């Protein structure tokens, strides 16, 4: 397979005020499944297209197995790309679609048959080889597109939001198929998506992008549990992390975050940790960390307010609480049997270890010093 390295890669289109991709650097290890994650317009697809050779590189250096490929044509990079669109030839059978690229490269017929048969077996297409695309479901068409990449036996597989056109159930099934496919092939794969669930469940590492830059790279759960900034904290998680403006207040030698009428202890952070923020911070709490306190019980780590929305989801219920003193709103993920109505008072408690802090200006995470 291959190691893919991007060193300070950038892309600026003619006439654009800012680059679409700005100083992006990361390395995808041999056989790794890396996911590029971010909102629309963050530069993830442009980055993938530069790796593929479909977009020119404005600055920086890109290499595949230590071979610099900045000026190497796409056809000579030994990569295969699967797009959001299936792009199958409607007049060809599944077998002919799978074999088309190999025939163009004048691969021996016996080898073509062997590769097509192997790919069809891996993807469960063996019984469909004589069908044409119109006779296939959306999931089957996407598997044919995947098979067309597999028969190439490339160094690197690239995926540009390949599941976006599938319905919810098919997305789950195809997502699992891709994970099994990676395990079976042990191939280097780079996958672009805006869907955090795809990123969390498929990637061995994820690269979160924002405004053309890398926001954070790491293992999915590491990024989820230790977001580098408020953008990453909001983007990973459904519902997203609750963020509220707060003021750091010192009382009796201890530090607190004042949120509306609540004073939340900041025992994990020292005065030195908090000093650079000049007292203005964002507090963050994930919805699953919030729980209803019975009868408005007093608790040092608690937020009080009024229920403004209730979303029963079957297995659980989401409640939105408008905090007292117009301090904003928070969403809590609570038990499905919770009995509440709009306008009810609610007290939400949480463990002190569930609290995150971010600088209000830079939105960078404020980390607590090791004890």
* Domain extents in the chain: 4-233, 239-359
The reported pLDDT for the residue numbered 258 is 93
The reported pLDDT for the residue numbered 256 is 93
The pTM for the full model equals: 0.89
Q: Tell me the pLDDT of the chain (371 aa) as tens digits.
A: 699 999 999 999 998 889 999 999 999 999 999 999 999 999 999 999 999 999 999 999 999 999 999 999 998 999 999 888 888 999 999 999 999 989 988 899 999 999 999 889 888 899 999 999 999 988 888 889 888 888 888 899 999 998 887 778 778 888 888 898 899 888 999 999 999 999 999 999 999 999 999 999 999 999 999 999 999 999 999 899 999 999 999 988 899 999 988 899 999 999 999 998 888 999 999 999 999 988 655 677 899 999 999 999 999 999 999 999 888 899 999 999 888 999 999 999 999 999 999 999 999 999 988 65
Total length of the chain: 371
Helices 138-150 and 109-123, packing angle to 10 deg: 140
Question: Any idea which residue has 């600026």 for tokens?
Answer: 12
**Residue 48 buriedness (CB in 10 A; 0-12 / 13-18 / 19+):** buried
Closest CA to 285 of 264, 270, 269: 264
The reported pLDDT for the residue numbered 105 is 85
CATH topology of domain 4-233: Rossmann fold (3.40.50)
The reported pLDDT for the residue numbered 1 is 61
**Residues 327 and 359: beta-carbon distance below 8 Å:** no
Q: d(Cα 181, Cα 127) in Å, to the nearest integer?
A: 19
- Per residue in 258-288, pLDDT (tens digit) is 998 889 999 999 999 999 888 899 999 999 9
- Per residue in 232-253, pLDDT (tens digit) is 999 999 899 999 999 999 988 8
Closest CA to 225 of 91, 355, 363: 355
Mode of pairing for the β-strands spanning 33-37 and 59-64: unpaired
**Residues 330 and 294: beta-carbon distance below 8 Å:** no
The reported pLDDT for the residue numbered 371 is 54
CATH topology of domain 239-359: OB fold (Dihydrolipoamide Acetyltransferase, E2P) (2.40.50)
The reported pLDDT for the residue numbered 225 is 95
């Amino acid at each position: 397979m291959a190691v893919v390295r991007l060193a300070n890669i950038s892309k600026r289109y003619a006439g654009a005020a800012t680059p679409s991709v700005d100083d992006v650097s990361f390395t995808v290890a041999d056989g790794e499944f890396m996911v590029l994650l971010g909102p629309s317009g963050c530069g993830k697809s442009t980055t993938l297209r530069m790796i593929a050779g479909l977009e020119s590189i404005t600055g920086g250096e890109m290499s595949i197995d230590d071979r610099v490929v900045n000026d190497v044509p796409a056809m000579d990079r030994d990569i295969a790309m699967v797009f959001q669109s299936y792009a199958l030839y409607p007049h060809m059978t599944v077998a002919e679609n799978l074999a088309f690229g190999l025939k163009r490269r004048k691969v021996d017929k016996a080898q073509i048959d062997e590769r097509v048969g192997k790919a069809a077996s891996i993807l469960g297409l063996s019984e469909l080889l004589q069908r044409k695309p119109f006779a296939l479901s959306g999931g089957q068409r996407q598997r044919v597109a995947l098979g067309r990449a597999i028969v190439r036996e490339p160094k690197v597989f690239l995926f540009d939001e390949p599941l976006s056109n599938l319905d919810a159930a098919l997305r789950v099934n195809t997502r699992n198929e891709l994970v099994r496919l990676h395990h079976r092939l042990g191939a280097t794969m780079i996958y672009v998506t805006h869907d955090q669930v795809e990123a969390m469940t498929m990637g061995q590492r994820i690269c979160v992008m924002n405004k053309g830059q890398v926001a954070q790279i790491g293992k999915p759960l590491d990024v989820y549990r230790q977001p580098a900034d408020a953008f990453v904290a909001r983007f990973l998680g459904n519902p997203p992390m609750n963020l509220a403006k707060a003021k750091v207040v010192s009382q009796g030698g201890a530090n607190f975050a004042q949120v509306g009428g609540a004073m939340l202890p900041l025992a994990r952070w020292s005065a030195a940790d908090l000093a650079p923020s000049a007292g203005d911070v964002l507090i963050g709490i994930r919805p699953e960390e919030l729980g209803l306190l019975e009868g408005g019980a007093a608790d040092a780590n608690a937020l009080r307010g009024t229920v403004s929305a209730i979303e029963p989801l079957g297995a659980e219920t989401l409640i939105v609480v408008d905090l007292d003193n117009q301090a904003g709103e928070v969403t809590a993920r609570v038990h499905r049997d919770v009995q509440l109505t709009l306008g009810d008072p609610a007290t939400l408690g949480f463990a002190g270890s569930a609290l995150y802090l971010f600088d209000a200006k830079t939105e960078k995470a404020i980390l607590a010093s090791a004890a």
